[in-house]
Structure 1
Amino acid sequence: MKIIIIGAQAAGASAAAKAKRRDPNATIRIYEKSDIVSFGACGLPYFIGNHFGDENEMISRTPEQFAKDGIEIKTLHEVIAIDPKLKKITIRDIKSNNCFDDDYDKLLIAVGATPIIPPLENHQLENIFTLRNMYDGLAIKNALTNRQNSNIVVIGGGYIGLEITESLVALNKNVKLIQLDERVLVDAFDPELTQIIEETLKQHCDLHLQERVQGFEGDHKVTHVITNKAKYPADIVIIATGVKPNSELYKDLDLETLSNGAIVIDSYGKTNIADIYAAGDCVALYHRVSQSMTYIPLATGANKLGKVVGDNLAGGNNQFPGTLGTSALRVFDIEAGRTGLTEQQAIQAAIPYKTVIVKDKNHSNYVAGQTSVIAKLIYHAETRVLLGGQLAGGSGAALRTNSLATAIWANMKIDELAMMDFLYAPPFSRPWDILNIAGGIAK
């Protein structure tokens, strides 16, 4: 069995390791366009914010470690064509620029995602960055060492935009966060939650909502950001407007995809082309609640699907059970988590629903550090089965999302939360946890 994997990050690396464990005799070869493998991009905002200093902490395994397990990784090798009929790929050696072919029995496409860069005038100026790979992080960190670079503009109010904003404020930079939509985290949280996050952001940075960036000014290096409302000085600009599947390689194949290029797979990770599998941030995942294929580029889904696909590449019969899109972030002294469907997503899925919102405290009032917490739960209007939930507040708010994810995964009803035996100890919770209360008062 000869298995070729295109891409050596989360999904590709997980698949290779699992396939080798499943079939130690299999030939497994990975082609990776960059010179870095098994990279965890989620750590980038914290690397830039000096939470740690060694960028290699974001690398899980090196090519040498893979080689010890009998997995061959060819870095700086870009796959430029796939021929499904001949079961052959064409590769370009980036160092020599020479091209050559390789064949496969099974092929995994795990090429990940690429940053979305809006059509902004003069976006090629120096000190305008995206934040997706290690070299982005190193370049931004280097630019920040220049004390004259004090005015930073972050474009985009998603997870990365908010996390990098917090890190930049901690570095004593003047940060302006510009968001096109009427609120931050518009695709992940409902307005009741984002309002709290925005209030916290406004205490630490200059938040601009419903404002469109049109371009940049500067000779060689950016000096100003131009929007539909004003012109702002900028020494550094970070564009964090989301990602899209890196579909250039496979766009001309007859692969079934979503409109954004995300590859549609079945529960085994198979595409609609024989012996070609896909995983990671270039694929659409099955959502367990909406029961539809959706694009949710998260490290958790990439790693888990990669493991499933790796098993199947080597002869297994494993199925990926789907995703809930469970995720969280911290923004200064607020943490927030979400899982399942938001209210807006329930509307889009045409699911009859109800909601319950509870405001409470994270733990007992006689223990230092008590803060407010808000929970919003969405449940089916007829069956009362939980559809989604969000929490935001002080310490302990985000991790409660894991309890909600477990309940949704198990198809529990909202009412069952009322008597759920959550832990109680004064430093962690109150006798009636906020989720108990939500389950008890849901109408």
Structure 2
Amino acid sequence: MNYVIIGGDAAGMSAAMQIVRRDKEARVTTLEMGGIYSYAQCGLPYYIGGLTPDSESLIARSRDTFEEEYGIDARVYHQVTEIDPDSKTVRGTNLKTDEPFELSYDKCLIATGAAPVMPPIEGKELDGIHTLKTIPDAERILEDMKANVLNVTIIGGGYIGLELAENLVEKKKKVRIIDHADRLGSGYDKEISAEIEKEAKRMGIEVCTGQTVERFSGDGRVSEVVTDQDSYRADMVVVAAGVTPNTGMIDRSRVHTLDNGAIIVNAYMETNMPDLYAAGDCATQYHRIKEKNDYQPLGTHANKQGRIAGMNMCGAAQAFQGIVGTSIMKFFDLTVGKTGLGEQEADEMNFTCDCDAFEGHSHAGYYPDNEPLLLKVVSHKVTGHFLGLQAVGRRGVDKRIDVAATALYHRMTMSDIENLDLSYAPPYNGVWDPLQQASRRVK
């Protein structure tokens, strides 16, 4: 069986490893547009900040490992530009030689990930303007920071923008965040994002929300960012305006996608075309609470979907069980997390909900270093089902988010959560967990 996998990171190589382990006669060819395989994109801000000592630490397995130990034909700088499902052919260009290539397949996986969005801003071609998605991106930023860079402007206040801002502050840079939304962390409800913005300002970050960037100015190199409201000096700019599925190689009139280009897959990672699969940040994820296909590009989903795609490609029936929308991040001294639906998403789904913001504590009040913990709980007003949690605090957020994610997976009610037998000792919790206390307020 001839397998072709497009993309050499989380989803693609998770699939490749399943295939070589399960099909001893498999011929696996992986086509990576860049030069690095299987690296941790989520670690890039920490590499820039110096917490991760070198880029090698971010690489799970090298290309040589895949070739020499597992027999995978792991090609680099191979950009796929066309997939023909009728002839089962993949076509593209070797970016090193500029020569075309063509490969046939019995089964093909699209695992091309997502590309950073660069809005059509005047002056975006100036030196000193970056995006952050790959190790070479991070290395270019680090190299650029040597050029008397003090004032850094970040465009976008989402996960990458906030994590990068923290790490640049740790590198003694003066950081500004400009976002067209009316607040930082706009993917969270207002109570939670207010704490994010408060922490940003506490750490000296200049916050400019509700502004649209119109142009970058400078003589060869960026020196100014101009918005619809003001202009700002900048020695360097990082655009962190989100990502878009990397699916330009497919014919969207034939392969079904969402409006944003994410390839629609079923539970077995199959597209609507025979023997053509997709997984990871280029594909959809079924959302168990929304009960429909969604797009939430995260490394956890990419690894799971890639593994399941590989199993199904070589004949082992395995279904992806979906997501509940769980994520978490560190922002200076805060941890911010969410799972399920926030109030904004519940409103968009037209659910009849109870929403309550509750301030609990990380552990027993009489034990040292107790910290406040803000929880935003969403539940269905009619059925009593738990629908989502958002949380922010200095301690204990991760524990509550993971308990909540498990409860969502099993479609628990608020009464079910109150009755959970959760661990208690004064250094870790009160006799009533804050999530259980919140559940009693809204059920």
TM-score tier by shorter-chain length is: over 0.9
Give the match for residue 416 of structure 2: 416
Deviations 1:281-308 (A, max 9, x none): 1111110000111111100111100000
Between 250-259 and 206-215, the greater mean CA deviation after superposition = 250-259
Please say if 1:303 is aligned against 2:303.
yes
- Aligned partner of 2:365 in structure 1 is 365
Deviation at 1:351, TM superposition (A): 1.9
Rounded Cα–Cα distance in structure 2 between residues aligned with 1:344 and 1:365 = 32
Q: Which residue of 2 aligns with 1:202?
A: 201
Change (3 A) 1:222 1:109: same
User: Contact between 2:185 and 2:196, CA under 8 Å: does it hold in 1?
Assistant: no
Counterpart of 2:39 in structure 1 is: 39
SS in 1 for 2:281: coil
Alignment partner of 1:265 is 2:272 = no
2:189 matched residue in structure 1:
190
Compared CA separation, residues 73 and 408, structure 1 to 2 (3 A): same
Which residues of 2 match residues 280-359 of structure 1 at below 5 A? 280-359=280-359
Quote the residue 1:77 is aligned against.
78
For 1:322, give the aligned amino acid.
G
Aligned to 1:141: 142
User: In the aligned structure 2, how far is the partner of 1:92 from the partner of 1:410?
Assistant: 46
Q: 1:425: Cα distance to partner?
A: 2.0
What's the CA shift for 1:384? 0.9
> Tell me, what secondary structure is at the counterpart of 1:102?
strand
Q: Which residue of 2 aligns with 1:119?
A: 120
How far off its partner does 1:192 sit?
Answer: 1.0
* Partner of residue 440, structure 2: 440
Tell me the TM-score normalised to structure 2 length.
0.97
Residues 220-253 of structure 1 show CA distances to partners (whole Å, capped at 9, x for unaligned) of 1110110111111100101000000012111455
Q: What is residue 156 of structure 1 aligned with on the other side?
A: 156
Q: Distance in 2 between matches of 1:392 and 1:175?
A: 22
Taking the aligned partners of 2:390 and 2:184, their CA distance within structure 1 comes to 15
Q: Which residue of 1 aligns with 2:88?
A: 87
1:7 aligns with 2:7: yes
Aligned partner of residue 401 in structure 2, secondary structure: helix
Letter in structure 2 aligned against 1:6: I
Structure 2 partner of 1:173: 173
Report the secondary structure of 1:322's partner residue: coil
Once the two structures are TM-superposed, the CA of residue 432 in structure 1 deviates from its matched residue by 1.5
Rounded to whole Å, the distance in 2 between the matches of 1:334 and 1:251 is: 44
Tell me, yes or no, if the aligned pair for 1:155 and 1:177 is still in contact at 8 Å.
Answer: yes
Give the superposition deviation at 1:366: 3.8
Structure 1 residue ranges, 4+ long, deviating more than 3 angstroms after superposition:
365-368
Secondary structure, aligned partner of 1:196 = helix
Q: Distance in 2 between matches of 1:309 and 1:424?
A: 40
Higher mean alpha-carbon deviation, 132-141 vs 243-252, is at 243-252
Normalised TM-score (structure 1): 0.97
How far, CA to CA, are the matches of 1:391 and 1:412 in structure 2?
A: 19
Q: Which moved more, 1:127-136 or 1:350-359?
A: 350-359
Aligned 8 A contact 1:392 1:398 in 2 = no
Deviation at 1:390, TM superposition (A): 0.8
Q: Which residue of 1 aligns with 2:48?
A: 48
Letter in 2 for 1:145: K
Q: Is the 8 A contact 1:417 1:438 kept in 2?
A: no
Deviation string, structure 1 residues 40-59 (Cα, Å, up to 9, x no partner): 11001101111022101111
Structure 1 SS opposite 2:282: coil
CA distance in 2, matches of 1:234, 1:382: 52
Per-residue Cα deviation, 1:69-90 (whole angstroms, up to 9, x for no partner): 1222111111222111111111
Could you tell me how far 1:100 is from its partner in structure 2?
Answer: 2.5
Trace 1:365-404 onto structure 2 (pairs within 5 A): 365-404=365-404
1:399: how far off? 3.1
**Alpha-carbon contact 1:416-1:439 (below 8 Å) kept:** no
Structure 1 window deviating more from structure 2 (360-369 vs 406-415): it is: 360-369
- 2: distance between equivalents of 1:173 and 1:97? 40
Q: CA deviation at 1:131?
A: 0.5
Confirm whether residue 100 of structure 1 aligns to residue 104 of structure 2: no
Letter in 1 for 2:146: T
Q: Do the aligned residues in 1 keep the contact of 2:378 with 2:388 (CA within 8 Å)?
A: yes
Partner amino acid, structure 1, of 2:20: K
Give, in whole Å, the separation in 2 of the partners of 1:399 and 1:215. 43
**Alignment length (residue pairs):** 441
The one-letter code of the counterpart of 2:197 is E
Which one-letter code corresponds to 1:348 in the other structure? E
CA distance in 2, matches of 1:351, 1:331: 31
Instruction: Find the counterpart in structure 1 of residue 27 from structure 2.
Output: 27
Q: Could you list the runs of 5+ residues in structure 1 that have no partner in the other structure?
A: none
DSSP 3-state at the match of 1:28? strand
Query: What do residues 168-194 of structure 1 show as CA deviations (whole Å, max 9, x unaligned)?
Result: 11111111111110112222x111111
Amino acid at match of 2:439: G
Alpha-carbon distance in 2 for matches of 1:213, 1:199 = 23
Q: In 2, are the aligned partners of 1:337 and 1:399 still within 8 Å (CA)?
A: no
What whole-Å deviation, never above 9, does each CA across 1:247-283 have from its counterpart, x for those lacking one?
Answer: 2111455111010100001110000111100011111
Tell me by how many angstroms 1:122 deviates. 0.2
- Distance (Å, rounded) in 2 between the aligned partners of 1:418 and 1:100: 59
Aligned 8 A contact 1:152 1:234 in 2: yes
